[in-house]
A and B are shown apart, each in its own frame.
Chain A
Amino acid sequence: MSDGKYFSTTKRGEIHELKEELRSLDRPKKKDAVKKVIAAMTVGKDVSMLFPDVVNCMQTDDLELKKLVYLYLINYAKTQPDLAIMAVNTFVKDSQDPNPLIRALAVRTMGCIRVDKITEYLCDPLQRCLKDDDPYVRKTAAICVAKLYDINPELVEDRGFLDMLREMLSDANPMVVANALAALQEIQELAGGGGKDLLQMTTQTLNKLLAALNECTEWGQVFILDSLAAYDTRDPRDAEKIAERVLPRLQHVNSAVVLSAVKVILRCMDVVALGPGGGEETIKAWSKKMAPPLVTLLASEPEVQYVALRNINLIVQRRPAILANEVKVFFCKYNDPLYVKMEKLEIMIRLASDKNIDQVLLELKEYAQEVDVDFVRKSVRAIGRCAVALERATERCINVLLELIQTKVSYVVQEAIIVIKDIFRRYPNQYESIIATLCDNLDSLDEPEAKSSMVWIIGEYAERIDNADELLEAFLETFPEETAMVQLQLLTATVKLFLKKPTESAQKMISAVLSCATTETDNPDLRDRAYIYWRLLSTDPEAAKDVVLAEKPVIADDSSTLDPSLLEQLVSRHLATVAAVYHRPPETFVSRQRMAVTRAEELGSRKFEEEDGATPGALVSDNNAAAAAGAAAAAAASSIGDLLDLSDASPVPVPPAAAGGGGGAATTAPAAARGLDDLLGGLDLGPTTTTSTSMPAAPAGSSADPFAALSAPTGATPGALGMSPGALSQLPVLLANPGGVSVQGRLVRQGAQPVYQLALRNDTPAPVDGLMIQTNRNSFGLSPASQVLVLATPGGAAIPPGGVTAVRVPLLVDPSKVTPPPLSTALQVALRTNQVGVLYFNDTVSLSALTEEGGTMEAADFLAAWKALPPEASARLPLAVPSAEVAKQRLAAANLFVLAHRQVPATGQDAIYATCRISAGGVGQLLLELKFVAGAGGVDVSVKAERQDCAQLVFDGLPAVLLGAA
């Protein structure tokens, strides 16, 4: 019986036919029909309309049919949550079935239906199944706890499921232990790195895990090994005990087990090293046992090899002794994929020593004559890097390079010249004898890097090359066409030549180059450098010599060496993980977060588009290129970490990356999930206590009584927002969420305080209630006066299906929530609902919401301040403002006080001088100069302030003010 036939029907009325068949009483026919439905589902056809019919087939004692129906259910429950509820009764019944297979199936499937409503039905069966007699059911239930946690973490904690999981770590069945452990690790990850230690590893649990290690499946062994690696022990005896139990795992067939075991043992080594005598003997013995299994990994498939090699690269940097004698096994095979060859080369370079360099060089020379250009280039570079790293082998390396140059293969020659330049820089004045050979190969140079290397060599050793001037002259012929890199080198080399050999021809050359570089180029770097040389040469040639011919620092090979602290982190914490493959800390790419329930589908369409926009450029495994970007992303991740953090008063630095992070609150980082927990935890305390903790220092101008904001439902009607329902819909869209809850809103200033005007639309079929709001830490310390939203609807608390409700959220300035500079206008907001989980959206803080009433100053003070303050930041805003008079009115309306207005005589410009004060976030007084260019349709804005970083706030906020939109 082939499943292929299920794909064959393409007739019309197919759905109808299937419906008939599903209702058939004939069991095989029914089964066939479900199979057809599933087949259609896998090729992407929409068969969701058959949901009720398929669910009707569920009540059967035929295991195969039941499994098929369950398979269908998992797929469609997300999009049809209400229908899925129909199936709940059967699930609950099945979870008590005498057949353990069916019990497990029911609990497994229920957990996969990520609908909030199902959780209340899930808890009881889950509790039962966690205590089931059958290990198969127990292990399935353990995983189900992690699923439930993803949907509803509070429930998991309230029902004590975490404690039950911890108890399961001592289960008699190793599968159950492994799954309980895996579930705990997963929950830990979802809860975020800063969360409390869920595993609560004690000596007792440790012993249990070590005992289970031998009996688990290979996958379970990896879970256990990973938790052992995370176990922080300072006791060398503990470490030895662990290592003794883990060492036999090195013989395992599964490379994941081997690598995780290696990780544990390396950790143990670090601990043992703290012990008496530095544990030298122990470390040596363990090292010896680790080498053969690591080498054996290289006999596996290329994919596994690649991962192993990336890890080995780290291991040999941290503990070179382990593989010091094994360089031969890293020699490339003819048929290795390129990605394996490249990694092997890296490790060969690292393992190269005075002892084995001859062998290594012989290999590298062979590689340099192969067909693959990328590989050949990298091999030639490798020879150069060996020369730079091993002083005693330099001469041999150079000889190999010279032999390679003799092949006259263009890219080999060019690559060789590039590395020879590096060798000259590493060992100055030692190997100049080979320059003649290099000079024979000038014709084949056509790549900028090779060219500039050669030019550098000529300039540096001009006094020893008889015909240096002729050689340079030949290069100079094409000076205007060269790339900037070559031009810069040519310029410097010519100056060096002139200083070393001030002949007539050199003089001619230098004046030609200088005039060309200063007059005919539009590259400022080149021009500036030429001017500097020119001035140096014309004023003080001796000084020029001191500058240009100064001794250069000796270089070292660090082209792919990791930062020691990063290396330490990768080896001791993240070996055998994706981080170790990318050679980057996990914060830079891990983007897990707890998914809000039932949003999975929308996520596909909406959120990831945002993310695509926010993080252009793939994070590839290339460690060097991505390191900088990685650091920024790491910082961004940490700033998201403090999202909604109510209790933690210590400010977290916000780097600039956070300001540009369009992904904002909804992106990435386990830390975000932690913040979320805190939010929810905080909300659970009830509005009263929360409010009082969140506004310990309400600034002047806002309500002095924190409870006033709570008790007075000021924003209870749309009228309170001062706009008609029509105008309501004009508010900018902050979160479009068809089929869910959408948010529109704007930050304005009302009654001497910033106020969030929000309009919430409920497109779900059910009323939405339990609305609460919170903001992330931001540059101005803006946070809601009350987290509970008081709605303007008759019911007071719920938005009816299809309804739009306006809410007015007064914001307070809470100095404890101010992020340190630089200033950012980004505001991340979370909105919690009982029905659709937590929604995140990003907004920007508008200037007019912050400027304070009475923030004016005397004109004379303005003048004095303008002179005293550091230079202004300026920008031209492309705005069409009707006239300066209109602009003045609009500025005044936005608490930007105009102090002076004059016409700039010659230009016909209107210049307006204005000031405003923003105490939120400690911004202070801002001084503004606005110049209206007649006819040009633009406004030149200059800003001066104590803080340099607030200019952008003005540039961002002014357009809205000047256009009267605020």
Chain B
Amino acid sequence: MISQFYILSSRGDVIIRKDYLGDVPRTSSETFFRNSKFWKEGDGEAPPVFNVDGVTYLHIKEGGVQLVATTRSNLSPSFVLEFLKRICTIVKDYCGFLSEDAIRKNVVLIYELLDEVVDYGFPQSTATEALKQFVVNEPTVVAPAFYQAKPLFSLSKGPTGVFKSVLDTARTDGKRRDEIFVDVVERITCTFNASGYIASAQVDGAVQIKSYLAGNPPIKIKLNDDLLIGRRDTPYGMLGAERDARAAERGAMVVLDDCNFHEVANLDSFDVDRTISLVPPDGEFALMNYRTSHGLKPPFRLHTSVEADPHSEYKALLTLRLWCEVPADKAASGLEVEVPTPRWVQRVHCDLEGGASGAAAGGRAAAAAAAAAAQQQNWDFNEKTHLLRWRFKRCPGGSEFTLRARLTLERPYGASLRSEVGPVNLRFTIPMYSASRIMLKYLQILKKAEKNYNPYRWVRYVTTSNSYTFRT
């Protein structure tokens, strides 16, 4: 089983250390840090599972810290990695947030938690709900330093903006607030080929719940009626699959390729009316994970063109046109377009235009609109990495933008430049938008005793890019 567990800061200091079996030396944390920092095979990252001198090291990185487990046995690595992930979740549930600071401020609590969740290297009950009855220390809730100035793309999977310990529900001092968050979080992976067609597309989504309801009342959730779970609902065979694909393309159905559910989900009526009832345990968990590759409407399209500059053979013109195709009432809250350019591109100068109106000829109003649009976007070019970046603070649905770049070249223009620019990569976050069109029709809290019981219910959607690439 697991011989040791430790949490390392980004500098390699041990913040938390537990030794379970005593068969791995204490210095293993240094061995680990050295090997993970300077992985011998090229400059890539160390793989999550590696072996040095008979000790297997398994590690994940989250919240700026590394969680590491060591072992000498032949156990299941996914078992350990999943377990490390779970420890992150527990820390987040208790301390509101996972960071070096949060851990340092809660050392004793975390040791107590660890004693409950691991015994002699064996994971025990790791449900936050179950832990509550055994753990007596109180957490110091830490909100991240960058709470206000949160980077645009740090949102990966979890619900956003809630830095609150699960223990808050047990408070009786009036500060308690009953609330429940249900988040539909989706990550898009999409690749467009050089002619602008989708080469592959997939959405990985999760329905995440974070409950702060006192007394853990049961809840009921309903999803789209037109939801089809591909290989589950239709018996195996091409006929069914083809039918689904066609239905999804017409926009009639939301077809999922595969999905799985948390063990608390009661799916008795799911096949009848797409409702799931459950007693949400404390803490954050994914009620449902799903993926789909059917009928995705890409939120962004992009067209790239590279042309020779008629005036100088050491110059080239790069034009990017971007269309934001989400509904007009939605907007991407952050968008970053990355264009790698070959090494022989020396300098770049860009002109930005576009926005909802587009800069028409002349006139003060148009100039003001252009200025406003320019404020929403900016660009920079890194001469070391040869990366051209085009950033938007906000990118409303239905808008169109253009970037015209003049590239200064080291050698005369050649046709190969066209294939050497790119692939263009987009990163974005679109709140209140689900790419798969999965919807939460309602969220019921079934608490009969109190009539006026009406806790806060937050249903949120967010779609982020996982890998969104345009090939050139």
| B256 and chain A: residue at smallest CB distance | A292
A578 touches B45 (CB 8 A): no
B76 touches A259 (CB 8 A): yes
A25 within 8 A of B: no
Across-interface contacts of A244 in B (CB, < 8 A): none
Complex Cα gap A9–B262 (Å): 45
Contact A589 B51, CB 8 Å, known A179-B122, A328-B200, A603-B22: yes
Complex Cα gap A299–B77 (Å): 17
Complex Cα gap A147–B260 (Å): 36
A68 touches B122 (CB 8 A): no
Proximity string of chain A (291-307) to chain B, C-beta cutoff 8 Å, 1 when within and 0 when not: 01101100101111011
Size class of the B contact interface (CB-based, 8 Å): 35 or more
Across-interface contacts of B60 in A (CB, < 8 A): 301, 303
Complex Cα gap A302–B44 (Å): 14
| A370 and chain B: residue at smallest CB distance | B423
Complex Cα gap A1–B25 (Å): 34
B419 within 8 A of A: yes
For the complex of A and B, the 7 pairs showing the least CB-CB separation, nearest first, are A333-B467, A600-B22, A338-B44, A303-B48, A591-B54, A256-B79, A292-B258
B268 within 8 A of A: no
A608 touches B78 (CB 8 A): no
- 8 A Cβ contacts from B51-100 to A: 51-56, 59-60, 71-79, 81-83, 85
Across-interface contacts of B42 in A (CB, < 8 A): 338, 374
Across-interface contacts of B298 in A (CB, < 8 A): none
A163 within 8 A of B: no
Contact A64 B52, CB 8 Å, known A595-B21, A604-B26: no
Across-interface contacts of A611 in B (CB, < 8 A): 53-54
B467 touches A619 (CB 8 A): no
A146 touches B120 (CB 8 A): yes
B137 touches A64 (CB 8 A): yes
Complex Cα gap A481–B120 (Å): 60
Proximity string of chain A (602-633) to chain B, C-beta cutoff 8 Å, 1 when within and 0 when not: 01110010011001001111100000000000
CB B100 to nearest CB in A, in angstroms, measures 11
State which of B106-114, B271-279, B390-398 sits at the interface with chain A: B106-114
Contact A590 B73, CB 8 Å, known A255-B78, A620-B41: yes
State which of A50-58, A345-353, A579-587, A678-686 sits at the interface with chain B: A579-587
Across-interface contacts of A667 in B (CB, < 8 A): 54
A219 touches B76 (CB 8 A): no
Across-interface contacts of B106 in A (CB, < 8 A): 2-3
A186 within 8 A of B: yes
Across-interface contacts of B200 in A (CB, < 8 A): 328, 331
B189 within 8 A of A: yes
| A182 and chain B: residue at smallest CB distance | B122
A696 within 8 A of B: no
A334 touches B425 (CB 8 A): yes
B56 touches A578 (CB 8 A): yes
B321 within 8 A of A: no
| A612 and chain B: residue at smallest CB distance | B53
Across-interface contacts of A362 in B (CB, < 8 A): 193, 199
Complex Cα gap A441–B189 (Å): 38
Proximity string of chain A (234-273) to chain B, C-beta cutoff 8 Å, 1 when within and 0 when not: 0000000000000000011111100110000000000000
Select B82's contact among A254, A581, A593, A621, beta carbons within 8 Å. Answer: A254
| B55 and chain A: residue at smallest CB distance | A591
Complex Cα gap A609–B26 (Å): 12
Select A296's contact among B85, B199, B291, beta carbons within 8 Å. Answer: B291
A140 within 8 A of B: yes
Contact A296 B289, CB 8 Å, known A189-B73, A618-B52: yes
21 sampled A-B residue pairs with Cβ under 8 A:
A3-B104, A35-B108, A42-B111, A108-B119, A217-B127, A219-B126, A251-B261, A253-B261, A255-B81, A285-B236, A296-B260, A299-B289, A304-B85, A307-B77, A307-B81, A578-B56, A592-B73, A600-B22, A608-B53, A618-B35, A620-B51
B431 within 8 A of A: no
Across-interface contacts of B45 in A (CB, < 8 A): 337-339
Complex Cα gap A374–B107 (Å): 41
Proximity string of chain B (34-53) to chain A, C-beta cutoff 8 Å, 1 when within and 0 when not: 01000011101111111111
Select A336's contact among B119, B122, B291, B467, beta carbons within 8 Å. Answer: B467
Across-interface contacts of B46 in A (CB, < 8 A): 339
Contact A114 B22, CB 8 Å, known A254-B82, A612-B53: yes
B471 within 8 A of A: yes
| B285 and chain A: residue at smallest CB distance | A253
Complex Cα gap A328–B231 (Å): 17
A576 touches B78 (CB 8 A): yes
B47 touches A67 (CB 8 A): no
Complex Cα gap A406–B418 (Å): 14
B204 within 8 A of A: yes
Complex Cα gap A101–B260 (Å): 34
B416 within 8 A of A: yes
A219 touches B83 (CB 8 A): yes
Contact A590 B44, CB 8 Å, known A71-B115, A618-B52: no
Contact A615 B53, CB 8 Å, known A337-B45, A603-B25, A604-B26: yes
Complex Cα gap A256–B291 (Å): 19
A369 touches B420 (CB 8 A): yes
A577 touches B423 (CB 8 A): no
Across-interface contacts of A108 in B (CB, < 8 A): 115, 119
Complex Cα gap A753–B72 (Å): 41
- 8 A Cβ contacts from B387-438 to A: 416, 419-420, 423, 425
Taking A255-B82, A299-B289 as known contacts, 5 extra A-B pairs with beta carbons closer than 8 A to each other, sorted by chain A number, are A101-B134, A256-B78, A295-B258, A335-B467, A578-B75
A339 touches B47 (CB 8 A): yes
B466 within 8 A of A: yes
A619 touches B22 (CB 8 A): no
A555 within 8 A of B: no
B1 touches A186 (CB 8 A): yes
| A112 and chain B: residue at smallest CB distance | B120
CB A99 to nearest CB in B, in angstroms, measures 11
Proximity string of chain A (546-586) to chain B, C-beta cutoff 8 Å, 1 when within and 0 when not: 00000000000000000000000000001011110110001
Select B191's contact among A7, A144, A331, A595, beta carbons within 8 Å. Answer: A331
| B289 and chain A: residue at smallest CB distance | A253
Proximity string of chain B (1-40) to chain A, C-beta cutoff 8 Å, 1 when within and 0 when not: 1000000000000111101011101110000000100001
Across-interface contacts of B15 in A (CB, < 8 A): 42
B337 within 8 A of A: no
Across-interface contacts of A508 in B (CB, < 8 A): none
Across-interface contacts of B72 in A (CB, < 8 A): 590-592
Across-interface contacts of B179 in A (CB, < 8 A): none
CB A761 to nearest CB in B, in angstroms, measures 24
Across-interface contacts of B291 in A (CB, < 8 A): 295-296, 299
| A359 and chain B: residue at smallest CB distance | B199
Proximity string of chain A (485-499) to chain B, C-beta cutoff 8 Å, 1 when within and 0 when not: 000000000000000
Across-interface contacts of B81 in A (CB, < 8 A): 255-256, 301, 303-304, 307
A839 within 8 A of B: no
Complex Cα gap A189–B1 (Å): 10
Select B423's contact among A179, A260, A366, A605, beta carbons within 8 Å. Answer: A366
B167 within 8 A of A: no
A293 touches B56 (CB 8 A): no
CB B136 to nearest CB in A, in angstroms, measures 4
CB A193 to nearest CB in B, in angstroms, measures 11
Across-interface contacts of A333 in B (CB, < 8 A): 189, 466-467, 469
A139 within 8 A of B: yes
Complex Cα gap A57–B199 (Å): 67
A668 within 8 A of B: yes
Interface centre among A67, A329, A370, A408 (most CB of B within 10 A): A67
B108 touches A335 (CB 8 A): no
B471 touches A366 (CB 8 A): yes
Contact A1 B82, CB 8 Å, known A292-B257, A339-B45: no
Select B22's contact among A146, A338, A577, A595, beta carbons within 8 Å. Answer: A595
A222 within 8 A of B: yes
B124 within 8 A of A: yes
A219 touches B50 (CB 8 A): no
